[in-house]
Amino acid sequence: MQDKKKIELYQVRNFSEVMGATIDFIRQQFKPLMSAILLVFTPIALINGILMTRYFVNIFNFASNPQDLDNFNPFLLVFGGGNMVMFFISILALLVLTAMVFQYFVLYQKNEGEVTFNELWNSLWQHVLPLFGYHIVFGIMLVIAFLLLVIPGFYLMPIVSLGLAALVFEKKGIFESFSRAYELIKNHWWQTFGILIVAYIFQNIVSNVFAIPFFGIYFKEIFTMAINEEIPNFSNTGAQLYLGFSFFVMMLGSYITYLIPFIAIAFQYFSLSEEKEASGLMKEVDDFDVSKNQGGGIEV
């Protein structure tokens, strides 16, 4: 049982209240959230850490052995089997993380603050394929918007982000979710944009803590290279193990810290939905009607 009062999701909040609710939710749900993240993403971070170490070592080995450049294939360096595996694992991890965080809210609301890992794990998969389609369609749209005009890209970013929440919370289609987000964000674009920017800045700051082991060995090797005037060689097993550990910590930290922007956008969705449609109030009325019809009545 949760030892703290359930946080009201559907509640009108201003900028600071959305950020405050984000922090409060993470603090209250820290144990179950972290347990879910660690159970799912520890093996993913480990695999990606191994693959990133291999890629990093190969680059430095080529640089430190110019004689091998005759056999150098830049295509394989970028699109080699290990890199493609790492790419697809990263895409799947993003989809699962997005589905996990938003589905967590669905269960939190449904079960009055109680969320179990088994229920979360079994129910999040229904959203993975729709989220994949959403990311493909609007990811391409964002890239084109940023490349061509930049400003439209910034304009679309909050809408696309809010659409992720609509897709999971309301189980709408890809384009319906985007339209829903567009309607909700009217007259609140700047607030939503500001919430995203602050949340991602906070996420970046915290994630840098997990990158300290990597930066430690990176700057050490750069310093050594400047003194000895030679490119670092990671052929040493100990160096490779430490490098792999640093990549593992950095990857796991990125999965953990991405909770911040996802939770922030969820609370912004709840706030806008409540302000425009009183969704929370309507749910309470519906719940009261169901209880009344079942003879529950009101205890006095």
DSSP string, 14-57: -HHHHHHHHHHHHHHTHHHHHHHHHHHHHHHHHHHHHHHHHHHH
Contact 51, 85 (CB under 8 A): yes
Q: How confident is the model at residue 65 (pLDDT cuts 50, 70, 90)?
A: low
Residue 100 has pLDDT above 80, yes or no: yes
Residue 51 has pLDDT above 70, yes or no: yes
Provide mean pLDDT across the span 72-96.
75
Sequence-distant (6+) residues with CB within 8 A of 33 are 26, 104, 259
Residue 40 has pLDDT above 80, yes or no: yes
For position 238, what pLDDT does the model report?
A: 77
Query: What's this model's pTM, rounded to 2 decimal places?
Result: 0.84
136/146: higher pLDDT: 136
Residue 19 has pLDDT above 80, yes or no: yes
The rounded distance, in Å, linking the Cα atoms of 299 and 33 is 34
Sequence-distant (6+) residues with CB within 8 A of 152 are 145
Provide mean pLDDT across the span 229-241.
70
The rounded distance, in Å, linking the Cα atoms of 194 and 185 is 12
Residue from 174, 199, 168, 190 nearest 265 by CA: 199
Residue from 110, 162, 169, 167 nearest 272 by CA: 162
For position 278, what pLDDT does the model report?
A: 74
Residue 263 has pLDDT above 50, yes or no: yes
Residue 225 has pLDDT above 80, yes or no: no
The rounded distance, in Å, linking the Cα atoms of 64 and 183 is 56
Radius of gyration (C-alpha) of the chain in whole angstroms: 23
Provide mean pLDDT across the span 41-60.
86
